[in-house]
Structure 1
Amino acid sequence: MTRPPSATRAICAMALLGLTACAGSYATDVPDDTLPVPDFASAQIDPPPGVRPDGCWVRDVAPAELETVTRQIEVAPAQFDEAGRQISPARFRTETAQVILRERQELIFETPCPDALTPDLISTLQRALEARGLYRGQITGQMDVPTRLAVRRYQNARGLPSGLLSIQSARALGLLTTPRDQL
């Protein structure tokens, strides 16, 4: 067996290096990265009845969370002779089913108003999420897809599976003050 010429090896190494450099940094840590993340403008709604009319509200949909479960079910037990030697092995069939872990949810929640979402506030949000290991992008001050995915990671761990920043999350991250009457 002959080795490829060194020039071919060098080209292969450069190609491999290029492919690994292009790999995304989010592909393996959170499976919900492939879910669509709505933008704020398309999710905005009028305040629901019974809430502060001066707040900003959004509607988002959290898709159902499914899990595929595979089981082996014994169809026929193993057969043994009088001496205890196995004559035929047990036979099994594979059964696969999907189980709903979380139903699809329509979420309606209060969010910081668009005039509050300044580049400075979004930069602070990105740094707060970066400090928690949820955001690894550039600090841009833009509510871009990587930022919304990091917001989703943060909020999903707190029971709100949305990439739109809630006012509760903004307050918990120290981005907004909590009014005295809500303390």
Structure 2
Amino acid sequence: MIRPLPCLLLVVCVVAGCDAGPTGPEPELQETTATAPPGAAPGTCWGKDVSPAVVETVTEQVLVQPAERRSDGSIAQPAVYRTESRQAIVRERRETWFETPCADQLTPEFIATLQRALGARDLYRGAITGQMDARTRAAIRAYQARQGLDSAVLSITAARTLGLIAIERPR
């Protein structure tokens, strides 16, 4: 009879560059107009955020041979166990497409306004430079994470909620 013992769990990233913190690199982040998701309107710009899969490594001790006991109940030969490890995907790799302002919209004036808007929300604490620097991207990530997008590339949705881009009204 095989009885697994309690297992040890280890969570690891399976995609290189898993560090996606505000100071780390963007894992497979693309900000491009060359590729867009199916059905995207012509002339729109898109970003793609790729979240790596999460794999769980489970290690179990499997009984190979049970212990041999003497007639008085003492152990004549201890049980023999074999260690087995396996991996299971806990969360699949995800690709999230989101519309972004195009490069011609990201003027120094626009970025300076973005920095002020993020500063008013206590997310940006640097000088208003009009440059898309690491501090600005970290503030964008912190703002968008609240809406469920873990990316340092500004989305159209975030730009609209910050009041930087007009919201189109239905006619």
Q: TM-score range, shorter-chain basis?
A: 0.5 to 0.7
Which SS does the other structure have where 1:181 is aligned?
coil
User: How does 1:66-145 map onto structure 2 within 5 Å?
Assistant: 66-76=54-64, 78-81=66-69, 82-86=71-75, 87-97=77-87, 99=89, 101-105=91-95, 107-112=96-101, 113-115=105-107, 117-128=110-121, 130=123, 137-141=125-129, 142-145=131-134
Q: With structure 1 as the length reference, what TM-score do the two structures score?
A: 0.55
CA shift in 2, pair 1:77/1:129, >3 Å: farther
- In the TM superposition, residue 118 of structure 1 has moved relative to its aligned partner by 3.0
8 A Cα contact 2:47 2:100, kept in partner: no
1:8 alignment counterpart: none
Distance 1:166 1:73 in 2: 48
Q: How does 1:14-53 map to 2 (within 5 A)?
A: 31-33=19-21, 34-36=24-26, 43-45=31-33
Q: Contact 2:113/2:164 (CA < 8 Å) preserved in 1?
A: no
The corresponding residue for 1:58 is 46
Unaligned runs of 5+ in 2: 1-17
Helix, strand or coil for the counterpart of 1:95? Answer: strand
Query: By how many angstroms is 1:119 displaced?
Result: 0.7
Q: Please give the alpha-carbon distance, in whole angstroms, between the structure 1 residues aligned to 2:136 and 2:126.
A: 10
- Aligned counterparts of 1:172 and 1:83: Cα–Cα separation in 2: 77
Greater strand fraction, Structure 1 or Structure 2: 2
The alpha-carbon distance between structure 1 residues 64 and 145, as it changes in their structure 2 partners (threshold 3 A), is same
- Tell me the TM-score normalised to structure 2 length: 0.57
What is the rounded CA distance, in whole Å, between the counterparts of 1:83 and 1:157 in structure 2? 65
Query: Partner amino acid for 1:114?
Result: L
Task: Report the Cα offset of residue 51 of structure 1.
Answer: 5.4
Distance of 1:52 and 1:77 partners within structure 2:
65
Distance of aligned partners of 1:51 and 1:79 in 2 relative to their CA distance in 1, 3 Å threshold: closer
Structure 2: distance between partners of 1:146 and 1:120? 14
Q: Deviations over 1:30-49 (max 9, x none)?
A: 9422333789xx82316968
Aligned-residue RMSD, C-alpha: 3.9
Q: Which residue of 2 aligns with 1:170?
A: 159
CA distance in 2, matches of 1:36, 1:168: 20
Q: Is the 8 A contact 1:65 1:102 kept in 2?
A: yes
SS in structure 1 at match of 2:62: strand
- Native 8 Å contact 1:38 1:164 kept in 2: no
Structure in which a larger fraction of residues adopt helix: 1
